[in-house]
Amino acid sequence: MKKIILLVVILFLTYQSDAQFSKFFEEKTLRLDYYHCGNAKTEQYFFDELIQEQFWAGSLTYLIDSLGYGNQRMEVHAADTGELIYSRGFSTLFGEWQTTPEAKFTACCYPESLILPFPKEKVVVSIQSLNRMGIFEKNFEYTVDPKSYFIKKEREKLPVFDVINSGIPAKTVDIVLLPEGYAKYQEKLFKDDCQKFASEFFRYSPYSENKNKFNIRGVWAPSKEEGPDVPGDNSWKKTRLNASYYTFDSERYLMIKDYQGIRDVAGNAPYDFIYILANTEKYGGGAVYNFYGISAAHHVDESGKIYIHEFGHLFAGLGDEYVGGVEYSEFYPTNLEPWEPNLTTLVGFDKKWKNMLPEGTVIPTPDKGKNGDKLGVYEGGGYVSKGVYRPWPNCLMNNLHQIDVFCPVCIKSIQEMIDLNCR
Ligand SMILES: [Zn+2]
């Protein structure tokens, strides 16, 4: 009897949330493009345009972000009542650039873009950013009239193909794979690389146990020339998405500045998360939480591990557990608790993996190199050796070369994200 009551309650709650979605939204996407500008200390947003896209792949019941990850937060409020009807956290490449030495001396603009379910009535879309005190500040607000004839509807049509199909987009995690630097004659190569992505991806726990909760699709968009730019080798290519190594002068940091250009290709398929396969052997990649991920599809033996590491940033907001490697200043201010679930400065450790620690764990946990899989609080992580702590001596979010599993904290965070997206 209790089980039946529980089932009825669950069905009722699901119905209620579905009803909330259909009260406010249609099952297609509204895209809001803007420019994210500023320098190390200032930040401004400039509206660009609105676009209607044909699919909505997101959950119809998980509308309000309950995790609070990301340096930015998008909120959508009903214009007439002010009710919060949709929200998502995310981070941006611009935000990373703000911590580089260059940002101290110059200002810069990055094209960015938000997506939300298509509203039925007027809504107010706002963006809040985490300031240096760790508090969200509203920096942008725009009222959208969904009936406006200025919302663009004409889009370039590109062919879409299934890599893995597990069910309807609203109840699954939908990954869209995009090609970068594949020439016209390399369509088959890209399709093979998409299959390789899927087989690598599901080799790692907890993705392996959750295979039936993922859809993976590819969009075919050829480039005029092969491979991304490598400024350090003075090698420049005409490619579809304009990816480049040496982002922020870090050789292996392969990224794309024009996020709107990425969305143009991705919008041909239903998607929650965008991952880009770069037609190159050169080691490298990058990913930003709830933004996009990219990496080399043909690295000799580590393409799969790079996928899984970068996807951890993109999908579950996992931070890098390694020390060094990038030129950032104060990426994680030690007086604030980072939002990344697998890093702590001990400022707000109660909300992190404290309740998962074995009894009697010493903080900081001495790393004698023999701890193996002992969960602890190891000093060093988030690019610095002091003041930031990680859960395991080594995890897939740390050094790719010596390990092929995630630590228990990363596994828990990934599972949580899968469950939320499949609600
Ligand atoms: Zn980890």
The confidence score (pLDDT) of residue 228 equals 95
Average pLDDT of span 102-118: 97
The Å distance, Cα 312 to ligand 1 centre, comes to 9
The Å distance, Cα 408 to ligand 1 centre, comes to 7
The Å distance, Cα 80 to ligand 1 centre, comes to 44
The answer on pLDDT for 371 being more than 70 is: no
The Å distance, Cα 29 to ligand 1 centre, comes to 33
The confidence score (pLDDT) of residue 14 equals 55
Which residues touch 72 (CB under 8 Å, ≥6 apart)?
89, 90, 91, 92, 95, 127, 128, 129, 130
The confidence score (pLDDT) of residue 16 equals 58
Domains of the chain: 18-144 (2.60.40.3250), 160-317 (3.40.390.10), 322-401 (no CATH)
The Å distance, Cα 169 to ligand 1 centre, comes to 28
The Å distance, Cα 197 to ligand 1 centre, comes to 21
Question: Which of 159-173, 314-328, 347-361, 379-393 has the weakest average pLDDT?
Answer: 314-328
Average pLDDT of span 32-57: 96
Cα–Cα distance between 283 and 388 in angstroms, integer? 26
Average pLDDT of span 340-346: 97
Q: pLDDT over 90 for what percent of the chain?
A: 83
The Å distance, Cα 394 to ligand 1 centre, comes to 7
Cα–Cα distance between 88 and 115 in angstroms, integer? 10
The Å distance, Cα 395 to ligand 1 centre, comes to 5
Tell me if 266 sits within 8 A of 219, measured CB to CB: yes
Q: Which residue has the higher pLDDT, 31 or 154?
A: 31
pLDDT in tens, 196-241: 999 999 999 999 999 999 999 999 999 999 999 999 999 999 999 9
Q: How confident is the model at residue 11 (pLDDT cuts 50, 70, 90)?
A: low
The Å distance, Cα 203 to ligand 1 centre, comes to 17
The confidence score (pLDDT) of residue 370 equals 58
pLDDT in tens, 56-104: 999 999 999 999 999 999 999 999 999 999 999 999 999 999 989 999 9
Asked if the bond preceding 364 is cis, omega within 30° of 0, the reply is yes
pTM of the model: 0.94
Cα–Cα distance between 353 and 410 in angstroms, integer? 10
Distances (CA, A) of 86 to 26, 47, 82: 13, 20, 12
Question: Which of 7-21, 96-110, 193-207, 342-356 has the weakest average pLDDT?
Answer: 7-21
The confidence score (pLDDT) of residue 324 equals 82
Q: Which of 294, 162, 200 is nearest to 239 (CA)?
A: 294
pLDDT in tens, 186-196: 999 999 999 99
Tell me if 92 sits within 8 A of 110, measured CB to CB: yes
- Average pLDDT score, the chain: 93
The Å distance, Cα 134 to ligand 1 centre, comes to 23
The Å distance, Cα 318 to ligand 1 centre, comes to 8
Q: How confident is the model at residue 399 (pLDDT cuts 50, 70, 90)?
A: confident
Sheet-wide strand order for 123-130: 84-90, 72-78, 123-130, 136-144
Residue 390 phi, psi (nearest 5): -125, 160
The answer on pLDDT for 328 being more than 70 is: no
Q: How confident is the model at residue 18 (pLDDT cuts 50, 70, 90)?
A: confident
Cα–Cα distance between 245 and 41 in angstroms, integer? 26
The answer on pLDDT for 326 being more than 80 is: no
Distances (CA, A) of 6 to 1, 13, 17, 170, 324: 9, 11, 17, 23, 50
Element (H, E) at 28: strand 25-38
Q: Which residue has the higher pLDDT, 324 or 238?
A: 238
